[in-house]
Amino acid sequence: MKQRQRRRINIDVFTGIVAALALVIVSLLLVIAAGIAYAGTHAPHAPEAVQLLPRSHFVPPPFADLTPAAETPVVAETLAPMASAAVVEVVAATNVNPLDEWLTVQPLPMPDWNAIQLAAKDPAPLASSYRPMIRDAALARSLSPELVEAIARVESDFNPYEVSEKGALGLLQVMPETGARFGVARERLFDPKDNIAAGTAYLAWLRDHYRGDLDLILAAYNAGEGAVDHHGGIPPFRETQQYVKRVRAAVRQLEAQVKRIRS
């Protein structure tokens, strides 16, 4: 009796497995058939839909069930919001220029066109080409040409388009306020001749103000005469103290070169 019951159980299990496999196979066949039918009915319209969008803005649809939506209402309800979101995203992408939107939030700083034009005309000539200009401007103000050249070397390394973090401009790193003080507008400070004219005018004023004391002249040229007057001498700024030493060393080097040439 027990053996017959076991056989019946085994037969029932086997029958259930076969039935389940049959259902799986039938389901797969239905899915494949539905997919073929779906592709046949929708494929002719696909190129037109794709052509409505530029290539860069086309967004592939999310993965979806291949069975018709009418037979699977749950799938249709799930995919509808996703499809709507995709359409909204594509339409937004076609109607909004991301660059314009970004520029309205964060405008780009405008370049200094005067400096760019000067750079295009004169690609940073050698320091020796400035010597006649420096010499003429220095002697016109009764200044040492070696001093002015040394300042140009330390300040900008003879780069007429140099701009410091504090806003000093050009060959002698003249602040726009200082240039205006001596009749040279900001946009002209990238011109070597005008920059040297403004820088030497300021140096001559400092020489008279500090009665020829070179250390105070150089300290004021670097930190401003207000800082020198406030501290009653070279300000306790490491940058200014090093600046005075560097310019003095450059002056000695240039004077030695001149002496060798003359001898």
CA 214 remoteness from chain centre? 41
| Residues in a beta bridge with 169 | 163, 174
| Burial class of 64 by CB neighbour count within 10 A (0 to 12, 13 to 18, 19+) | middle
DSSP state of 174: B
The DSSP 8-state label assigned to residue 59 in this structure reads: -
Q: Which of 71, 101, 146, 155 does the annotation list as catalytic?
A: 155
Start-to-end Cα distance in the chain:
133
In b/e form, how buried is each residue of 115-135, taking b as 16+ CB within 10 angstroms? beebeeeeeeeeeeebeebbe
Q: What is the DSSP string of 189-235?
A: TTSHHHHHHHHHHHHHHHHHHTTT-HHHHHHHHHH-HHHHHHHTSS-
Place of tokens 């900008």: 156
**Taking the mean position of all CA atoms in its chain, how far away is CA 206?**
39
| 155 part of the active site | yes
* Residues designated as active site: 155
